[in-house]
Structure 1
Amino acid sequence: MSLTSWRRLTRHQLFWPATILVALLLFNLPFTPGFLAVGVRNGHLYGSLVSILVFGTPLILVALGMTMVIATGGIDLSVGAVMAISGALACSYISRQPDQNAVTAALTAVALALVVSLLLGAWNGLLVARAGVQPIIATLVLMVAGRGIAQLITGGFIITVQSRPYQTIGGYLFTLPTGVFIAVAAVVGTLAVTRRTALGLLVESVGGNAEASRLAGVRAQRITILVYVFCALCAGVAGLMNSSNLANADANNAGLWIELDAILAVVIGGTPLTGGRFSLGGTVLGALILQTLKTTIYTIGVPSQANMVFEAAVVIIVCLIQSPDFRRRATAPFRGGTRTGSPPVRQPAGVDTPVEARP
């Protein structure tokens, strides 16, 4: 590979996230030699890689919706609360049915949870687009109140369900985790809508300059409401996957702090918090990096007291590696440049140096 081709490859938006993900996976091999091995147990695939997919797909879904919100220059802190409400509604409905294994009961519970998630997203979108409330404040309201709503639905208890049709959402299908099929469908569908139609450009235009987009004929308010509804829908599906996988609804812990992981996954994937552009592929890689990092922490035996510190340190390193400016400054001594300072100012021709500045 020529030097020009290598530089072109390293400048690709997905190169560094993909490289970091591969490096994290390989880092586990000395501690767990069979880390990359995948086998079949009880009729489905089993292994560390499968576990990363099982626990990473809810984060991928939430981060997918968060990407579209951030692309418009907004933020959504309520996705964890929406997850809790979605799982609480579904499990609460199923637990009251005489036959929990009825397919109709599971389908009705899923439909109820998703409809409420859409309404919650519309509420966030209306506060931001129509009422003019700052996104961080509008979604912070639902982040706090939504967790309380979920606790009211469950009565403050953990609701356990024994519904085989419902557990399929967080279980396995054709030996693979069902969440993988859901996440792939969501990512492919979002890519098709945003990159094969004008919607992606409209979202980026709103994030770049909402007022200029409005003056150009773009219905910025509708676009803003739409992305918040989509984000809440993704969070609602993630809540169903989480509660189905655990076979219960825990309003206190379901989706707790997942909004921070989702924002971090979006940033690692290359989407700026200022909006104006987005990378769905980068978001998926960012979510997988975070889940692989969590798995790595447990694999190498980091003490539980230092988990968060270790994770924060690795995330900082990952973000620095992805920064073009940091890489340029770090490699400046090897390229004959300087890390700091500005280049000397050349005096225009015909202009003499002042007497005070002469040596």
Structure 2
Amino acid sequence: MNIPDIWRGLTRSRLFWPVLTLVALAILNVVVAPNFFSIQVKDGHLFGSIIDILRNGAPTILVALGMTLVIATRGIDLSVGAIVAISGALACTIIADAPDGNNPGTVVFAVAVSLVFSLVLGSWNGLLVSVFGIQPIIATLILMTAGRGIAMLITEGQIITVSSAPYKVIGAGYWFGLPASIVIAGIMFAIAALFTRRTALGLLIESVGINPEASRLAGIRSRGIIWTVYVFSAVCAAIAGLMISSNVTAADANSAGLYIEMDAILAVVIGGTSLAGGRYSLTGSLIGAFVIQTLTTTVYTIGIAPEITLVFKALVVIAVCLLQSPVVQARMHRRKAAPPLPPVPSGTITTPVAAETAGVAS
């Protein structure tokens, strides 16, 4: 196999361009800050730019995991940002109102209440989409709009601050030398990969996304599959909300999780999952989330003004998506046309039938 064939095979992979973008961003950061890859150990904990990217990108990773499975079923979940705000607001309010916010039991209760409420919200989205047949973008837009209001009602329009050491561990603490948020995101990724790639669930999700009607006729309970992915997406968003509020030790219903749904969708698209449903890649979404977070870090590292950060991010995302588009891929892999055949002289026998006829005639 020659080099052009190897290159053609690599560029056809859905993960090639996201990985190449991630490597290019890393190289750019190394040029600007030579100690970008340096990792230090202090008090048994890891510190460094890479660790910061992983920790800050953990909420986006979680939301992207749930969004991947939703998109795989031809859906979309615009309510994840609101669920992030509701989850953090609910947990912080419970801890702030408790007599002892440093009691681990209080923190466990607050986290449990937030997760259970996220199950209710995810069930609501799944009910609207799978049972009532409402378009996913409209069904989740309802909660996206009302969710901020629910979070504001929980916090009574105030920023709720907490000083709970056990709660701060979720977003800013360390487990086994690594930030706890990284460990939590890794566990959730492992659970999602286990159930979608080691069981029939992943195949059923792809089947529903490719052709829901054919899946129903084949005996697949598409309603249950769709309902499940929306519940999982809500749980992932709730955990991300706990991380964000824990990291800043406060719940802000207005800004918590703002635009995180857009970052999650971009991460999924960058990872190679089609918005038309069907085949998906959890690994691709993971890489896409790293690209989004590394891009944000790069913007601040090279000194780009914060007000044009979104524009810079959009340009990079557009470039990656264009490189993955079928039209660009077809042009890149178009083989050189074969040279035209030389003209056949008049009277020349060109086919076996003609040759056989000529032999008989002679």
Please indicate, yes or no, whether the TM-score normalized by the shorter chain is above 0.5: yes
Find the aligned partners of 1:328 and 1:202 in 2 and give their Cα distance: 30
Moved more, 270-279 or 322-331: 322-331
Q: Which has the larger radius of gyration?
A: 2
Write the mapping of 1:1-359 to structure 2, written as runs, cut at 5 A: 2-3=2-3, 4-41=5-42, 43-170=44-171, 171-323=173-325, 325-329=327-331, 336=336
Instruction: Give the percent of matched residue pairs that are identical in Structure 1 and Structure 2.
Output: 60
**Residue by residue, what CA displacement relative to the aligned partner does 1:97-122 show, whole Å, maximum 9, x if unpaired?**
11111010000000000000010000
CA-to-aligned-CA distance 1:156-189 (integer Å, 9 cap, x gap): 1111111111111112222211111111111111
Distance in 2 of aligned mates of 1:328 and 1:125? 37
> Offset at 1:307?
1.4
How far is the alpha carbon of 1:325 from its aligned partner? 3.2
Q: CA deviation at 1:39?
A: 1.3
Cα distance 1:336–1:9, how it changes in 2: closer, same or farther (>3 A)? closer
Q: Deviations over 1:247-273 (max 9, x none)?
A: 111111110010011011000001000
Structure 1, unmatched stretches of 5+, are: 338-342, 344-359
Q: Tell me the TM-score normalized by structure 1.
A: 0.90
Unaligned runs of 5+ in 2: 341-362
DSSP-derived class of the 1:77 partner: coil
Contact 1:17 1:322 in 2 (8 A): no
Q: Residue by residue, what CA displacement relative to the aligned partner does 1:37-95 show, whole Å, maximum 9, x if unpaired?
A: 11134552222111111110100000000000000000000000000000000000000
Counterpart residue number, 2:360: none
Shift of 1:331: 7.4
In angstroms, what is the RMSD of aligned CA positions?
A: 1.9
- Whole-Å separation in 2 of the counterparts to 1:306 and 1:134: 33
Q: Is the Cα–Cα contact under 8 Å of residues 17 and 269 in structure 1 kept in the other structure? A: yes
Kept in 1, the 8 Å contact 2:8–2:333? The answer is no
Return the letter of the residue paired with 2:95: I
Which amino acid in structure 2 is aligned with residue 15 of structure 1?
F
**Paired residue type of 1:272:** S
How far 1:328 sits from its partner (Å)? 4.4
SS at match of 2:41: strand
What is the letter of the counterpart of residue 63 of structure 2? V
Instruction: Give CA deviations for 1:276-314 in whole Å, capped at 9, x if unaligned.
Output: 111000000000000000000000001122212111111
Distance 1:48 1:198 in 2: 39
Quote the offset at 1:14 in angstroms: 2.0
TM-score by length of 2: 0.89
C-alpha distance in 1 between matches for 2:42 and 2:104: 26
User: What does residue 355 of structure 1 align with?
Assistant: none
User: 2: distance between equivalents of 1:241 and 1:220?
Assistant: 32
Of 86-95 and 174-183, more deviation after overlay is shown by: 174-183
Kept after mapping to 1: 8 A contact 2:65/2:189? yes
CA distance in 1, matches of 2:163, 2:307: 35
* 1:13 Cα deviation after fit: 2.6
